[in-house]
Structure 1
Amino acid sequence: MLTKRIIPCLDVNMGRVVKGINFVNLKDVGDPVEIADFYNQEGADEIVFLDITATHEGRKSMVDVIERTADKVFIPLTVGGGIRTVEDIKEILRAGADKVSINSSAIRNPELITEGAKIFGNQCIVVAIDGRLREDKSGWNVVINGGRIDTGLDAVEWAKKAESLGAGEILLTSMDADGTKNGYDIPLTKAICDAVNIPVIASGGCGKLQDFSEVFKDTTADAALVASLFHYKELTVKEVKDYLKDENIEVRL
C-alpha cells in the first residue's frame, strides 16, 4: 500500500510567501526557502509553490526561489502559476522543480498537457482542477480565475480527459470547501478519484485532524494539500502524521 502524502502549499508573490483570502489583503509571511526548509525538516512529503503574480517579473523572482529551494530541500517540489507554454515548463523544471501544475492554461490549450508529458514525462505534469457544485446539484463544473469564471466543463469529465492527454496527477481543489475549514469536499474528491487511475491530491477545506483521516478513509485520494492550517501553526506536519498513524493510515514518518 502506498503511503499517503501530506503537502504544504505556499502562495508566492514576487519572491515572498503571502497569505490572504482569495488573493486579497495579502500579508507577507516570510521567505519561501526558509519556510520550505522548515516543512522539509518537519516531515512534509512534498511542497507546492503557487506563483500568484506570474508576470514576467514574478517569473524571474520565482525561478530564483525555486533554485534556492532546490539547493536546500530534498523532497519533491511542484510549482504552479502562469505556466502557459512548454518553454515555461522547461524553465521551471530546469530551475529545480520536480513537477509543474497547470490549470487554466491546460483548459485553453489541452495540447500543453500532451506536449509536456511527451517531453518531460507524465510524472512532471500535474493538472490542477478547481471544481464547484452546480446550482442544480447534478455535478461539478470546472472554474478558473479563483472561481470567478465558470468554464461549463464537467469536472469529472475534464479529469478523465486530462489523464488521457498525459497528466500524471490531479490537484483537486473544491471551491465550495476552500477556506471554510469544514473539511475536504468528500463527494467531489471521491467522484474524481473514482474516475481516474492517476494520483489525486485533495485540497480545500481542511480545518482539523479528523479531516485528514476522513479524506483518506472515505476516498482513494493519495495526498492532502494544506495551507493556512500549517502556516498559522494550528497543526504541525508531525501532529498530522502521528494522528494518521494512530488511525492506521500509512504515512511516511
Structure 2
Amino acid sequence: MARHARPTVVLVHGAFADASSFARVIPELTAAGLEVIAPAVPNRSLVDDAAYIASVVRAVEGPVILVGHSYGGAVITLAGTEDNVRALVYLAGYALEEGESLGELQGGFPDSGLGEALVYTPFPVAGSTENGTDVSVAIDRFPALFAADVDPDLAVVLAVSQRPLAARAFSEAASVAAWKTKPSWGLVASSDRTINPDVERYGYERAGMTTVEVDSSHLVMLAQPKAVAELILEAAGSTGH
C-alpha cells in the first residue's frame, strides 16, 4: 500500500434511514477527489452490524476514513478498530464507551422527544419461534423530529421509507471503543430533536474528539452537506494520506 494513497470514505448510515441520507454529501467528497462507499447497514444488531461494516472496510485497498451518522456512530465505534481505518467521524452520533450500550448512554440525559414517537413492530426471526422487534418513528412525527430543516417533500419520502432498527441493538454493549486508538472528529447537530445534543457533546468530549457544532436537525447530511463534507475532508487531510 502506498504511504500517500488517498483515503476511501466509508459512510455508515443510522437507524430509521439508509445510505441515501448521504446523497448531498457524496458529490462534495467525490468532487474533492475521494473515493466513497456508502453501504447498507442491516440494522439488526450492534455487534453484527459492526462486523458487517468491518468486512466492508477490510475489502478496501488502502486507508479508510470511517464516518457514522446517529446509530452509525455506535457501529463505527466497534468497526473502527480495523487496521486500515485512519480516522473516525461522528455525525450527530453515539460515541460509546467500551462496555456501554446505546440505552445506557442515552438514558443519562433528558429524552429528546423521540421516545414517545417510536413504533414497535414484531418481525419473524429465522430459526426461532420468538419474534424480534423493529423500532421505527411514527410517519407523521418523522419530519419534525428527524428532518425539520430538510425539504418537506423529501422529508415525507424519508418518513415512509425508513429502515427500522431492531430493538436488541439498543441494549447490546460495545465490545471496544475505536476512538481510543484512532483520531476522531465529531459534529453536534445543535437543533437535533432525535438525539439530545448533550448526548453527542458528552460522548465527543469524553473521547477527546475535535468537535464542531452545526445548527441543524438530526439529518445534518441533507440539511448542511457542505459543513459535513468539510469535517470529513479535515479528517482525511489530517491523517497524512
Shorter chain as denominator, the TM-score bin is 0.3 to 0.5
Normalised by the size of structure 1, how large is the TM-score?
A: 0.36
User: Structure 2-normalised TM-score?
Assistant: 0.37
Relative contact order: is structure 1 or structure 2 higher (C-alpha 8 Å, sep ≥ 6)? 2
